[in-house]
Amino acid sequence: MRFRLTPQDTSFFEMFARTGTILVEATAVLTEVIGSDQARREELGKEMEELEHRGDEAAHAVLRRVNSSFVTPFDREDIYQLTSRLDDCLDLMQAAVDLMVLYRIGELLPGVGDIVQVLARQAELTAEAMPRLRSPGDLSDYWVEINRLENQADQIHRRLVAALFDGGYDAISIMKHKEIIETLEDAADAFEHVAHTVETIAVKES
């Protein structure tokens, strides 16, 4: 068993773990959105907004704690960056849902669900990693796998964009779909940026 930090410091890890859980819930909503119709998507958009509020509260709790703590488990600026990058993941997934609703996109190009599956796996891994930030050096499997998944999302994204331009779609449908697909790919990137921040923390602690 590893050395435990003081209770005060510990709670930073709990706070990050809470955000990890919210990210997993967000990918569940996003997965349902893919297969839904416009009416159901609008309801799910509201659920996503709820999750985003909870994410904001979790982020503010971390920042308040940083500002009032004498000792933090790692550099203040790394805590800020990790908080901000976790927030980006949620924001981008919410933005993707918002675009589907706003554009009344209807049935999605087959394959969009494949990127969402990658995001769901990235969110799970991130949620598992957060409580283990106490010993960031043990997390190399996590960031290697997140990077691999990001490359996979990028491949799918490129395949989808090529299919979009080759598929006889009209220019307006292409524009709408392209923006949605790019926002999902940006979310996969955002998970990679989280992993990169964790890697940076691990290097400093080692």
Interface with a second copy, residue 174, by CB under 8 A: yes
Interface with a second copy, residue 177, by CB under 8 A: no
> Given candidates 18, 41, 176, 177, which one binds a second copy under the rule CB under 8 A?
176
For a second copy, which stretch binds (CB under 8 A), given 41-49, 112-120, 125-133, 156-164?
156-164
Taking the complex as a whole, the smallest distance from the CB of residue 123 to a second copy amounts, in Å, to 25
d(CA 52, CA 50): 5
Interface with a second copy, residue 98, by CB under 8 A: yes
Interface with a second copy, residue 165, by CB under 8 A: yes
Report the C-alpha dihedral over residues 172, 177, 178, 180, rounded to 10 degrees. 130
Nearest to 89 by CA among 201, 15, 198, 183: 183
d(CA 89, CA 193): 9
d(CA 109, CA 8): 48
> Given candidates 113, 161, 196, 205, which one binds a second copy under the rule CB under 8 A?
161
Taking the complex as a whole, the smallest distance from the CB of residue 102 to a second copy amounts, in Å, to 6
